[in-house]
Amino acid sequence: MKPKGLLIAVVLLAVLGGLIFWSNKKQASASKAPTDTTTKILTIPDDQFQEIHIKKLTGEVLDLRRVDGKWQITQPKELRADQDAVSSVVSNLASLTANKIIEDKAADLKPYGLNDPTLDIQITKKDGKTDELLVGDDTPTSSGAYAKLANDARVFTIASFVKSSLDKKPEDLRDKRLMTFDSDKITSVALTTKGQTVEISKNSSNEWQIVKPQPFRADGSAVDTMIGKLKDAKMDSAAADGDAAKKFAASPKGAVVAITDASGTQSLEIRRDSKQDYFAKSSVVDGVYKVPADLGDALNKTLADFRNHKVFDFGFSDPSQLSVKGVTYTKSGDKWMQGSKTMDNISVQSLIDKIRDLTAIGFPDKAEGDPVFDVSVTSNNGKRVEKVTIRFKAGRDYAQREGEPSIYELNPQFVKELQESAAAVKEAAPAAPAKKK
């Protein structure tokens, strides 16, 4: 190789080595750099918040205080607080971070709107110590707002959504529920409507039972649906004015529901005006509020709406024994037996389905006609035995459960199909003989 070529090769090798050294050094420096460069403004555990005082530039004041583990609004007046809404405010304050630091030592706060802050938030912790956050003007791009701690010379910017999450009114944070009962601890529900009171309570099996005007089986789903509507009922603050109260007072009396749980009884009265709008007055909160029509409709019920229309209670649990027209079938393992005979499972299951689907179309005061046949079902591992007698007269079928006064009028077509299914139960086909090898 010529000397000139050798010299060029040496230079190129040196350059390449320098590049590799510089690259490795840069990667090593990058690996040592901190992964989190976020500037923390506040770091307070959620459970250490005791009070939050928010003062606005307009002079409005909002005070929140934690009492027995629950947040309450104490200013401008005492109100129940929405625990989730307040928890959102607490969460944003607990780990407040800055988008960027604008000045390390700001001599003049006026350019940032921090001399007269939009929000002045004072936090009192359980140990009595306080932190004060000042939030000023929006940034020129409106993507954030200027902020600082009262005892810190630095000026930060925070995200605009954070400012919005802290800029709250009492109506934003108050508990808007019209009823505050605990669904899991309800002991009774009393609904008065259309001149009749229906009282429903839980029995020893924790199932809904109608106790007034007479003891009847209740439709648990219908009761739970009504309770769910009441639990979700919230005030429309915009409609809580004198006009709503006037409309309520001028409207005819509607439904009144009283719910009792472990903490006591609370009530709600619903009225409908001439324009078919519903208004509600609760024993829990002051004022009258316009409410959705579906709440009014949920309370516009009669005794029949809460009665259990199903003749049998075994539902989708597997019966272990059933008897129709004096013929008894017993479950043995995965087979249905009639005495020593193995029955066809599909035909027995079809009969079970027909029994399960027996549904009342009405509740007459008495059953007429002579008994046609009896149906008995044993389920829940032998703990539940239901016996029903079916009668027929003049084209109408009636059912009565043993030990109960209630009469269920049945759809004649359903009874006919039940009888046909009972007649169609057959023995299982004999097993095919094993093939000879």
Domain CATH number, residue 152: 2.60.40.4250
Residue 396 pLDDT: 95
Average pLDDT over residues 53-81: 95
169 shares a domain with 187 = no
Do 210 and 224 touch, CB atoms closer than 8 A? no
Question: Using one digit for the tens of pLDDT, what is the confidence trace for 117-139?
Answer: 999 999 999 999 999 999 999 99
HSE at residue 199, side-chain half, CA atoms within 13 A, is 9
Q: What tokens does 309 get?
A: 């229309």
Residues 361 and 403 in one domain: yes
Same structural domain, 94 and 44: yes
d(CA 229, CA 190): 15
Q: Domain count of the chain? A: 3
The count of other CB atoms within 10 Å of the CB of residue 399 is 21
Answer yes or no: is pLDDT of 269 > 60: yes
Per-residue confidence (pLDDT) for residue 29, from 0 to 100: 39
H or E segment at 42? none
Examine residue 14 and state whether it is found in any structural domain, yes or no: no
Backbone φ, ψ for residue 365 (5° rounding): -75, -30
Asked if residue 431 belongs to a domain, the reply is: no
Secondary structure element (H or E) that encloses residue 91, with its range? helix 83-94
Amino acid identity, residue 85? A
What is the chain's alpha carbon radius of gyration, rounded to the nearest angstrom? 37
On whether the CB atoms of residues 236 and 289 are closer than 8 A, the answer is yes
Q: Domain for residue 151, yes or no?
A: yes
Domain assignment present for residue 417? The answer is yes
Q: Which of 246, 72, 95, 302 is nearest to 174 (CA)?
A: 72
* Beta-bridge mates of residue 134: 120, 148
| pLDDT value of position 237 | 61
Phi, psi angles (nearest 5°) of residue 212? -135, 140
Does 5 map to a domain?
no
- Whether 193 and 302 map to the same domain: the answer is yes
Please check the confidence at residue 219 and state whether its pLDDT lies above 90.
Answer: yes
Q: What spatial distance separates the first Cα and last Cα of the chain, rounded to whole Å?
A: 89
Q: Are residues 57 and 158 in the same domain?
A: yes
Whole-number pLDDT of residue 241: 53
Residue 313 covered by a domain: no
Task: Note whether 178 and 289 are within 8 A (CB).
Answer: yes
Last residue of a domain, one of 114, 147, 173: 173
- The DSSP-derived string for 222-280 is HHHHHHHHHHH-B--GGG-SHHHHHHHHHSPP-EEEEEEETTEEEEEEEEE-TTS-EEE
Mean pLDDT of 109-124: 96
Express each pLDDT in 341-399 by its tens digit.
Answer: 999 999 999 999 999 999 999 999 988 899 999 999 999 999 999 999 999 999 999 99
Amino acid identity at 421? S
Residues in contact with 241: Cβ distance below 8 Å, sequence separation at least 6, in sequence order: none
Determine how β-strand 327-332 pairs with β-strand 335-338: antiparallel
d(CA 346, CA 330): 14
The residue range of the domain holding 405 is: 321-424
pLDDT at 35 over 60: no
Residues 263 and 17: their CA atoms lie apart, in Å, by: 80
- Element at 170 (helix H, strand E): helix 170-173
pLDDT at 36: 40
Residues paired with residue 51 on neighbouring β-strands, in sequence order? 65, 124
Last residue of a domain, one of 173, 194, 220: 173
Give the end of a domain, one of 173, 192, 211: 173
* Same domain membership, residue 147 and residue 187: no
Would 8 be classed as within a structural domain?
no
Do 192 and 102 share a structural domain? no
Of 223, 124, 104, 120, the closest CA to residue 163 belongs to 120
Could you tell me if 192 and 169 lie in one domain? Answer: no
Alpha carbon distance 250, 171 (integer Å): 27
My answer on whether 84 and 143 are in the same domain is: yes
DSSP assignment of 364-433, as one string? -SS--SEEEEEEEEEETTTTEEEEEEEEEETTEEEEEETT----EEE-HHHHHHHHHHHHH--BPPPPPP
Residues 196, 154 share a domain:
no
Residues 154 and 218 in one domain: no
Identify whether 150 is part of a domain.
Answer: yes
pTM, entire model: 0.74
220 and 120, same structural domain?
A: no
What six digits make up the tokens of 65?
């205080």
For residue 243, what pLDDT band results from cuts at 50, 70 and 90? confident
How far apart are the C-alpha atoms of 244 and 82, rounded to whole Å? 24
